[in-house]
Structure 1
Amino acid sequence: MKNVRRGDLLAKSAGVFVAYTAIMLSIERRLRRGGGPGIIAFELAGTASRAEVMLDAWGPEGRRFARLSMWLDFGYMASYGALLAVWLDRVRRRRGHSAVLPVLVVVAVAGDAVEGVSLLKVLNGNRVAANARRARTAALAKFTVLAGCLGYIAARSSVLFRR
């Protein structure tokens, strides 16, 4: 019975993530429509000059979409965080590994939250250099932890498929 509920939770989390991803990709297309960069490039800008070049390329409409993307990203964090935590927990239970593994998802989501707040400050012109640096550092931490979690899932799932 517990496995059925976990399976349902994984499926529901995946559904929410896919729906949210569609929304975020729609905003991404609008950002790029005017020839500007995507939001990940903005997350990784790292300097005031790079961030300002991107803001100029987007223009007022693109900046509105970037701001919308940043605000919606807080919900997106919850959607990918829930999916990844449930998926990671499922794989680690099957392998008998530490219950601490899903906590890594909290680290990734926290990094994403720091990044989001920092980028909103960049969009508002507040301490652009410091916030662009902070956003990049947080984004790199987030991507590193997410890659590690997904690598664990892939490696451990492939072991399960071989059996």
Structure 2
Amino acid sequence: MTTVQVRQPPRAGILFIGITRFLLILLFVYTATSKLLDWKDFQYQLHNQVFPDPIAGALAYLLPAAELITALLLTRRQTLSHGLACSLGLMLAFSIYTGLVLFHFFPRVPCSCGGVLKAMNWQVHFIFNIAYLLLTIAGTILYYKKEVRPNG
């Protein structure tokens, strides 16, 4: 019988995953809450976007729900892998959208950010999103190095 020895990440890796979780939870709870607290403005801003009104209407409900569900998934060890996957998807989507706005892909510049994020210009917002995207990627890689076990 052979035993497979699994290499555990150093404490720094575990700490990094914890910090990543905390920052993502903070971001998603904050952004969802700011959308819900200023619901009418959030809906108006979504309808000012470049996509059709039916999509904007659906996103008004889907975005805060996705952010809150993702934050919830990140709080439990049993659902952390799903939370990281959702975080990766959300941050990738937000980063692509912000990049498209920044590089004038759309005919006009919309705005739908709330709270402190509303004060950022598009360049700062893009850098912020990319930083969170990279944080999420690094946290996900470290998580899978720690959690995924070889069969055998």
TM-score clears 0.5: no
TM range, smaller chain: 0.3 to 0.5
Higher relative contact order (CA 8 A, sep 6+): 2
> Which structure shows the bigger proportion of residues in helix conformation?
1
